Amino acid sequence: MSQNEFQSQEVVSSLEQGLARDGFRLTRARHVVLTAMVELGHPFSTGELEQAVARVDGSVGRASVYRTLALMESRGLVEKLHRSGQEHYTLCLKAEHHHHVTCVQCGRTREFALKDNIDLLSTVDGLARGLGYLPRSHVLEVYGVCPACQKLAGPHA
Amino acid sequence: MSQNEFQSQEVVSSLEQGLARDGFRLTRARHVVLTAMVELGHPFSTGELEQAVARVDGSVGRASVYRTLALMESRGLVEKLHRSGQEHYTLCLKAEHHHHVTCVQCGRTREFALKDNIDLLSTVDGLARGLGYLPRSHVLEVYGVCPACQKLAGPHA
DNA sequence: CAACAATTGATACGGGGTATCAATAGAGGG
DNA sequence: CCCTCTATTGATACCCCGTATCAATTGTTG
């Protein structure tokens, strides 16, 4: 646990360094929101984020939660997940283009890149070209049961 | 144009027949909302749908617009599109599992299935398995410039 | 046509997210 | 270390979207 807290703080300060590098100020509010995001450790709704922030520091205003969320999203460090009933957001630690596998039971996500699978990436583009489109981008989200939840459920998953 | 209107009415009544088959009543409100959806002919936000409905028949209540939208969505005849800044919905005419290509310029969508591309489909599942997940479902949305918009833009697209 | 239930429109409500704005507090220079 | 300048903040009010409610209406079935 203290191990986890240690890692969390490292993640938070690396995010903060990124902000500072681009001329954003390191403020108490941002620190608190980032800490809350990292400590949640899994995709969160805006409501969950608000609660987590309040737990860390009740003096941070609601508006700052949304402002920081928007800031991180605009920098590609937080992404919206699709197909969850309610919109959820997740921290992205990989810089490059990537996708998510979301566990339909515990809700945790895992990032993956397609570099090992160049076929897939080029197939998606090729598919668009086959329809006469000029490919620009795509969204691919995968849903399944993660290894941990499979174990919990027993062999008849 | 009257050709289009004729086709629109056919689509609307085929949707209505589906509803009737399952015991839903054919009401004025539903007819108006479906007509508005079909006549929009491209992905729409809820606001656009409200406006279109009002244009067709101003006496239809706001609640019924949302009720009909939810009904169609629950039947898989309308799907939410992802990654649009604002949520958008689109009519789905294909029954089977399919995806959308959305033009980033005109916003129109086109459905496509992966049957010609079984590789891709099984690759996505295989990819999840490779990470230890039990694949359940996925979202794939493709964005690009459609043939018509490419022509408009000239050869330097 | 009668009767029953599904559906509707109007209304009010709630919650999420934002615009506003005076007050605060970073960051950098002296 | 303090000063200044401006980004950022917290509080508030506000707006808008979607929904719960409910009496009135309208499909449908027999």
Among B77, B93, B109, the domain boundary falls at: B93
Taking the C-alpha atoms of residue B84 and residue B106, their distance in angstroms, rounded to an integer, is: 13
Q: What is the mean pLDDT of each run of 10 residues along chain B (157 residues)?
A: 76 96 97 97 95 97 98 94 85 86 91 72 84 92 93 64
Which residues, at least 6 apart from A113, have a Cβ–Cβ distance to it below 8 Å?
A: A94, A96, A97, A98, A99
Same-domain status, B82 and B100 = no
Are residues B74 and B27 both part of a single domain? yes
- Cβ separation B139–A104 shorter than 8 A: no
Confidence (pLDDT) at B7 = 83
Q: How far is B147 from chain A (nearest CA, A)?
A: 6
Q: Calculate mean pLDDT across residues A121-148.
A: 90
Cβ distance of A127 and B117 shorter than 8 Å: yes
A110 has pLDDT over 50: yes
Cβ-Cβ contacts under 8 Å, A147 against chain B: 132-133
**CA atoms within 13 A of residue A130's CA, in its CB half-sphere:** 12
Question: What is the rounded CA–CA span in Å between residue A141 and residue A82?
Answer: 7
Q: What pLDDT, on a 0 to 100 scale, did the predictor assign at position B31?
A: 98
CB pairs under 8 A between A and B: 109
Indicate if A12 and A73 belong to the same structural domain. yes
Q: How confident is the model at residue A116 (pLDDT cuts 50, 70, 90)?
A: low
In order of B29, B30, B51, B56, B78, the CA distances from B59 in angstroms are 9, 12, 12, 9, 23
Average pLDDT value for residue range A102-118: 82
Looking at the structure, do residues B22 and B65 belong to the same domain, yes or no?
yes
Token pair 């990292």: residue: A38
Contact between residue A83 and residue A141 where contact means Cβ atoms under 8 Å apart: yes
Tokens of A101: 């596998």
Number of domains in chain B: 2
B133 with A142: Cβ contact below 8 A? yes
Q: What is the pLDDT of residue B90?
A: 95
| Interchain pair A144, B136: CB under 8 A | yes
Count CB atoms within 10 A of the CB of residue B89.
21
pLDDT at B115: 67
Summary mean pLDDT of chain A: 89
Say how far apart CA B107 and CA B96 lie, in whole Å: 23
The string of pLDDT tens digits covering residues A38-56 is 999 999 999 999 999 999 9
Taking 50 as the threshold, does the pLDDT of residue A64 lie above it?
Answer: yes
Same domain, B72 and B110: no
Same domain, B48 and B17: yes
pLDDT of residue A123: 79
The rounded radius of gyration (Å) of the Cα atoms in chain B is 18
| Residue that is written with structure tokens 């891709």 in the block | B120
Rounded-to-integer distance, Cα B85 and Cα A31, Å: 27
Question: Where is the domain boundary, B93, B122, B138?
Answer: B93
Res. A58: pLDDT tops 80 = yes
pLDDT the model gives residue A7: 83
Total Cβ atoms within 10 A of residue A88? 21
Same domain, A73 and A58: yes
Residue B40 lies in domain: 1-93
Nucleotides of C under 7 A from a protein CB: 6-12, 15-20, 25-27
- How confident is the model at residue B156, as a pLDDT? 53
- CA distances (Å), B45 to each of A72, B48, B51, B82, B105, in order? 25, 5, 10, 12, 16
**Residue A75 is encoded by which pair of tokens?**
């920098």
Shared domain for A156 and A137, answered yes or no, is: yes
Q: What is the share, in percent, of chain A residues with pLDDT greater than 70?
A: 90
**Whether residues B135 and B75 fall in one domain:** no
B80 and B22 inside one domain = yes
Q: Are residues B25 and B80 in the same domain?
A: yes
How far is residue A56's CA from residue A60's CA, in Å, rounded to a whole number?
9
Question: Residue B58: which CATH number?
Answer: 1.10.10.10
- Whether residue B73 is found in the same domain as residue B144: no
- Give the domain-ending residue among B76, B93, B110: B93
Averaged over A20-31, what is the pLDDT? 97
Task: Give the long-range contacts of residues B68-75, CB within 8 A, separation 24 or more.
Answer: B68/B29, B68/B30, B68/B33, B68/B34, B69/B33, B71/B19, B71/B24, B71/B30, B72/B15, B72/B34, B72/B37, B75/B18
Query: From residues 85-144 of A, which are strand C contacts by CB within 7 A?
Result: 87
